[in-house]
Amino acid sequence: MIVVKTKEEIELMRESALIVSKTLGILARQIKPGVSTLQLDKIAEEYIRDHGAEPGFLGLYDFPNTLCMSPNSQVVHGIPNSEPLKEGDIISIDCGALKNGFYGDHAYTFAVGEIDPETEKLLQVTKESLYVGIREFKKNNRVGDVGYAIQKYCEGHGYGVVRELVGHGLGKKMHEDPEMPNYGKRGRGKKFIEGMVVAIEPMINMGTHRIKQHRDGWTITTLDNKPSAHFEHDVALVDGKPELLSTFAYIYEALGIESNEEEEFRQKQLML
Ligand code: MG
Ligand code: MG
């Protein structure tokens, strides 16, 4: 059952999403060769607690940390450890926060120093596919329309779309209805309704879409050990259109990247 949110609840959810956005911005300044994912995890936990929230993942389904840290061929759900990041790595960071009873949940894949152009392109295309998907989260559309758009875009670049892990409704629970796969058929699945909030999160592999799970019960890796990228936004359906609750702006500010992708997205929505 889809739990619809009131305008007031959506504003509370924006607050939770923005705590995650700001946490990712703080982390962006710290990501460099030599830093361990466990060090970054501590920074994130402290920041979230200092801002009146609780880490959203810590203890959820018994996950042991604040961040899911998935380097290189890890897709998602990697557990932070003391191994230092290396020049040329990529690191997918997924972060959750719980404030006022509502969850925020979003993710970004970072480059550690200089990365090779092929991997850079994977990151770029995966991030673009996120907006391609979000555009389809609108009145009269269905779950399959978002998945279809993401899949078509990514497979068009020769990439593999992970099947076993999906986006989801978000609210007082981290995972609410509906499931939001990154693949699908147009016009299929549950219809979107005003006031629903979802986490849309393409997990895209450079090679095969197939994955394997590690013995730790958490870490998911690509079957061919090629790199994987993960970008996630929290989005509400307001006035029949997708409204971003999370933002990458703090990341871009930290990294000195000029990007108007979110503003462009909003302008395009206004013209529809
Ligand atoms: Mg997430
Ligand atoms: Mg999620």
Locate all alpha helices (DSSP H) within the chain, ordered by sequence.
7-30, 37-50, 117-134, 143-155, 249-255, 261-271
Comparing CA positions, the residue from 88, 90, 94 lying closest to residue 76 is 94
Residues near ion ligand 1 (Cβ under 5 Å)? 94, 105, 107, 232
User: What is the pTM for the complete model shown?
Assistant: 0.97
Give the domain ranges of the chain. Answer: 7-265
How far away, in angstroms, is 168 Cα from ligand 2 center?
A: 6
Rounded Cα–Cα distance for residues 148 and 104 (Å): 25
* Both tokens assigned to 98: 């719980």
In CATH, the number for domain 7-265 is 3.90.230.10
Comparing CA positions, the residue from 67, 68, 88, 85 lying closest to residue 76 is 68
Mean pLDDT of the chain: 97
The pLDDT, as a whole number, for residue 270 is 85
272 has pLDDT over 90: no
pLDDT digits (tens, 9 = 90+) for 146-167: 999 999 999 999 999 999 999 9
Rounded Cα–Cα distance for residues 6 and 102 (Å): 13
Quote the Cα angle for 42-92-217, to 5°: 80
Note whether 202 and 180 are within 8 A (CB).
Answer: no
> What residues are paired with 180 via a beta bridge?
167
How far away, in angstroms, is 204 Cα from ligand 2 center?
A: 14
Overall average pLDDT of the 200-225 stretch: 97
Ligand closest to Cα of 108 equals 1
Residues near ion ligand 2 (Cβ under 5 Å)? 105, 199
